[in-house]
């Protein structure tokens, strides 16, 4: 359905500090807490009703995962993106991409703004994002992402805890020196039937094909993003060297780019992260092009709060998401979340939210408690 257009009455940027329940290590570095940028909008529809909407920017504190970082995201929103949106006489979430296209890059910042506007429009219409995009699943399987450990024993203890929690798939972060031995030990512990995959976060080079082919012995679902994000040809060559399917993450930033990667043979499975691709609407388009080409997809995570976690669950209810994603329980990362109804795992699955918007309600008192700053940009 077409959502009623309107305009932005008020825009607030809120920075919050949330400690992680345990440090999370990838090949990019170690995170112990999250500096998160949230966007709150007051949206006035053409008929005059005012509705609140929220967006979450997934940029990290430092530009390690991508060129974006949280301070930069706030600056580009304030100085360049929001002036283009607040000056529009009539605005819908579907207009955001076009209006912001003159600003190169910054998909995480753009995606957070689009998310907040879309959340408000959906709430005004009384429908959920899942309903809006035609998602049909009521529950989705939940996987968990396990950071790099210094030794195998501590890794096995962590994985066993997640197995006991009921997760249906394990993903191991890997890097040179913490890969084959770790994978072999985990596969031996969890047995041959539990799905297992690895994520390299660009830690390898084109010359590592023979080494990564050693992972073929462990019946992995996929090897995620082994090479730098701009090396599409390298991924295609690697796909010819290893049996395990190559999955792209950081390399996929748009639907058109995803088509190119698929046609070059570099993308056998796709990880869709809405923040990385500029928002949930582009994420749906990537899902659609992958499904039309029989490329399996799954929903990755960026250590989101319950805001992004609920939205990801709705996205992952689309039919092309055939592999378990990284939509783990909120308690995987946070002792307490900023929403009143955080994501939980029951029998290895997440119940897809169905309430209007992106399916969450803010825990205002706790949000205020963890807020470091609030900036009124418009209104």
- 273 part of the active site: yes
Answer yes or no: are the C-beta atoms of 4 and 40 closer than 8 Å: no
pTM over 0.85: yes
**247 band by pLDDT with thresholds 50, 70 and 90:** very high
Candidates 25, 34, 173, 332; catalytic one? 173
Answer yes or no: are the C-beta atoms of 169 and 197 closer than 8 Å: yes
Mean pLDDT of 180-196: 97
SS3 of 203-221:
CCCHHHHHHHHHHHHHCCC
Candidates 171, 182, 273, 276; catalytic one? 273
The radius of gyration of the chain from alpha carbons, rounded to an integer in Å, stands at 20
Query: Taking 90 as the threshold, does the pLDDT of residue 155 lie above it?
Result: yes
Segment 66-80, tens digit of pLDDT? 999 999 999 999 999
Q: What is the pLDDT of residue 219?
A: 97
Bridge partners (DSSP) of residue 139 are: 351
Torsion sign, CA atoms 360, 275, 115, 80: positive
Instruction: Report in angstroms the alpha-carbon separations of 322 from 163, 248, 290, 316.
Output: 21, 16, 11, 9
Write out the two tokens for 19.
């400690």
List of domains in the chain: 6-126+362-378 (3.30.390.10), 131-351 (3.20.20.120)
Mean pLDDT of 48-72: 95
What angle (nearest 5°) sits at the alpha carbon of residue 267, between those of residues 262 and 272?
Answer: 100
Instruction: Report in angstroms the alpha-carbon separations of 313 from 78, 141, 228, 254, 269.
Output: 29, 10, 28, 20, 19
Mean pLDDT of 296-324: 97
**215 band by pLDDT with thresholds 50, 70 and 90:** very high
- 173 part of the active site: yes
Segment 103-153, tens digit of pLDDT? 999 999 999 999 999 999 999 999 999 999 999 999 999 999 999 999 999
Mean pLDDT of 49-75: 96
């Amino acid at each position: 359905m077409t959502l009623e257009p309107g305009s932005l009455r008020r825009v607030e940027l809120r920075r919050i500090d949330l400690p992680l329940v345990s440090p999370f290590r990838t090949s990019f570095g170690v995170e112990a807490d999250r500096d998160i940028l949230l966007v709150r909008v007051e949206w006035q529809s053409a008929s005059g009703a005012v509705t609140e909407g929220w967006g979450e920017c997934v940029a990290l504190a430092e530009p390690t995962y991508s060129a974006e970082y949280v301070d930069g995201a706030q600056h580009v929103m304030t100085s360049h993106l929001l002036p283009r949106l607040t000056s529009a006489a009539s605005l819908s979430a579907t207009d955001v991409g076009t209006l912001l296209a003159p600003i190169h890059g910054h998909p995480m910042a753009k995606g957070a703004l689009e998310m907040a506007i879309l959340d408000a429009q959906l709430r005004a219409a009384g429908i959920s994002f899942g309903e809006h995009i035609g998602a049909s699943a009521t529950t989705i399987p939940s996987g968990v992402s396990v950071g790099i450990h210094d030794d195998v024993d501590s890794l096995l203890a962590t994985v066993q805890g997640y197995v006991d929690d009921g997760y249906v798939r394990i993903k191991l972060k890997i890097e040179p020196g913490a890969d084959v031995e770790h994978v072999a030990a985990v596969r031996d512990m969890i047995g041959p039937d539990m799905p297992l995959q690895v994520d390299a976060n660009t830690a390898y080079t084109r010359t590592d094909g023979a080494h990564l082919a050693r992972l073929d012995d462990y019946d992995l679902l996929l090897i995620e993003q082994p090479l730098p994000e701009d090396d599409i040809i390298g991924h295609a060559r690697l796909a010819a060297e290893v049996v395990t399917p190559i999955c792209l993450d950081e390399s996929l930033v748009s639907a058109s780019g995803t088509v190119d990667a698929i046609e070059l043979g570099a993308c056998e499975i796709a990880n869709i992260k809405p923040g990385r691709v500029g928002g949930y609407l582009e994420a749906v388009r990537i899902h659609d092009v992958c499904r039309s080409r029989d490329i399996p997809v799954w929903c990755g995570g960026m250590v989101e709060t319950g805001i992004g976690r609920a939205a990801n669950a709705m996205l992952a209810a689309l039919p092309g998401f055939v592999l378990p994603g990284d939509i783990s329980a909120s308690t995987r990362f946070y002792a307490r979340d900023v929403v009143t109804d955080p994501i939980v795992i029951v029998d290895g699955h997440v119940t897809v939210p169905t309430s209007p918007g992106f399916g969450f309600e803010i825990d205002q008192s706790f949000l205020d408690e963890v807020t470091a700053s609030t900036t009124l940009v418009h209104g």
